């Protein structure tokens, strides 16, 4: 994806920003593989949170920014996705 991003001109990049927000900033983040492995084992995909024993935790945007070393994310912008809820 980073290779595709690098091929785009400024107009296309601006269109992408307007549709998807700060997502491209994640291209420049260096992933700490040990931290990622440690966190991945506690990720609960059913509830989209971290589960430690019987405690569920969801990091704030500021905490994600600190973990990812990514200060460029706009903390006052809403980042969300539509939840798909199954009906029984």
- Beta strand segments in the chain, E: 43-44, 49-52, 55-57
For 35-67, the pLDDT digits (tens) are 889 889 999 988 888 999 999 988 887 787 777
Could you tell me the pTM of the whole model? 0.48
Residue with token string 């291209």 = 27
Residue with token string 């809403």 = 78
């Amino acid at each position: 994806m980073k290779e595709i991003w690098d091929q785009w001109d400024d107009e296309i990049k601006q269109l992408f920003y307007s549709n998807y927000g700060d997502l491209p900033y994640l291209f420049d983040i260096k992933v700490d593989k040990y931290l990622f492995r440690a966190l991945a084992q506690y990720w609960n995909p059913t509830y989209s949170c971290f589960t430690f024993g019987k405690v569920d935790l969801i990091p704030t945007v500021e905490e994600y920014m600190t973990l990812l070393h990514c200060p460029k994310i706009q903390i006052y912008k809403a980042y969300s996705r539509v939840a798909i809820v199954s009906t029984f």
